[in-house]
Amino acid sequence: MLEQEYDGRRQRRIERLVKEAHLPADKTLATFEHKRLPLRIQRLLPNLCAGDFVDRAENLLIFGLPGRGKTHFVAAVGFELVQRERHVLFTPTYRLVGHLLRAKRDLELDRELRRLDRFEVLILDDLGYVQQSREEMEVLFTLLAERYERRSVVITSNLVFSEWDQIFKDPMTTAAAIDRVVHHSLIIEFGKEITSRRAEEAGRAQRQPTTPEPA
């Protein structure tokens, strides 16, 4: 009976953590095509899911062209971390930046940063699509600086570091932001050996014979 009570409480806790994480429901390890990954990334995946990098407050940086599976990869890792009762939050970067900017305008930025600090892992998806004003850049930099060496940040981006000046605009701020996310980090590149899944699906759709319409 005690074991059943413990299992029940643990399952309810995990369900609550899954709800709080806002992870894409269909992007799990069960639906991820592991064979698409290079062997070096396949070998690293179990350690990421175990959460060792979270214990060390390390960051995880995923780079690659669109359609390579970066979002699915980090969402699947996030889901596995939640199963291990980790506090995770998944969010598109532009959405979180907008939320932080509104909090700053309402003089609630410190409070919002404390709320985000509850999450051991913050997954910022598609950093490269954020084209910010200086005000927006500042709140994103503040977030990264607050979590530096304390909490883990997972970032996906189609922009390599040399192109991050498109995000942070100012060269000094760009260099400082890169320094904070790279120090104590794991960097994974989804290179040319990983083809675009969306392009493959589009190609298969074009190759399928079409049924002629009745006269």
pLDDT in tens, 34-87: 888 888 899 999 999 999 999 999 999 999 988 889 999 999 999 999 999 999
pLDDT tens, residue by residue, 74-99: 999 999 999 999 999 999 999 999 99
Mean pLDDT (the chain, rounded): 85
Residue range 121-139: average pLDDT?
A: 83
The CATH code of the domain at 13-207 is 3.40.50.300
Q: What is the pLDDT of residues 161-202, one digit of tens each?
A: 877 877 777 788 888 888 888 988 999 998 765 544 444 444
The two tokens of residue 30 are 């069960």
The full set of domain ranges for the chain reads 13-207
Complete DSSP assignment for 58-90: -EEEEEE-TTSSHHHHHHHHHHHHHHTT--EEE
Give the model's pLDDT for residue 36. Answer: 81
The number of angstroms, rounded, from the C-alpha of 13 to the middle of its chain's C-alpha atoms is: 22
Could you give the CA distance from residue 109 to residue 117 in angstroms, rounded to a whole number?
12
Residue 74, classified by CB atoms within 10 Å of its CB into exposed (0-12), middle (13-18) or buried (19+), is buried
Closest CA to 153 of 125, 176, 192, 128: 125
Q: Is the overall model pTM greater than 0.75, yes or no?
A: yes
